[in-house]
Amino acid sequence: MFFDFSDPQFWVAVAFVAFIAAIFNPVRKILTTNLDSQIKDIKDKIDEAENLKNETQVTLSEVKKRQNEVQAEIQDIHKEAEKKVKQLEEIAESKLKDQIAKRQVLAEAKIDQLTRDANNLIQTHISSTAIEATISVLEQKLNNQEQQKLIDKSIEDIGSALKN
């Protein structure tokens, strides 16, 4: 026969199979529990990684949204600054034109005054020169008697002019 019950090798083989069968269940449970625990840990880590990925994507989208908002704010600020610069340029140009106009009016008034002063000075000079020339001519050509007659006639003319 194939099995010899008196052979010690047979009983060692049976004992070995019985031993393996006896520890197979606890070892299988330990291995299964251990593997299940590792699988659960791996699944938890995968879930955590997916959660982190999702949170990162949400954060990234929020950052992009904020970046777009900041970009829009920058453009608004830039446009507002350009408007203010234009306004300031217009105000400065207007003030400059006003100052130029005021200074031109002042310069024209000053020129007019200087012209009047120069004309008065010229007239005064011409009159005084004419009077001096007349006095000089009269003194040279008229004697004392003729001078006295001329003075008397002038006094008479002034008197009749004052009466009218």
Residue 126: predicted pLDDT: 92
Domains of the chain by residue range: 8-124
Average pLDDT over residues 92-112: 95
Given pLDDT bands bounded at 50, 70 and 90, which one contains residue 3?
A: low
Report how far apart, in Å, the C-alpha atoms of 87 and of each of 58, 92, 101, 134 are: 43, 8, 21, 69
Q: Is the pLDDT of residue 163 over 60?
A: yes
Report how far apart, in Å, the C-alpha atoms of 104 and of each of 15, 26, 98, 100 are: 128, 113, 10, 6
Residue 164: predicted pLDDT: 65
Given pLDDT bands bounded at 50, 70 and 90, which one contains residue 45?
A: very high
Residues 6+ apart with CB under 8 A from 157: none
Instruction: Decide: 142 and 150 in contact? Cβ < 8 Å.
Output: yes
Residue 85: predicted pLDDT: 96
Residue 2: predicted pLDDT: 63
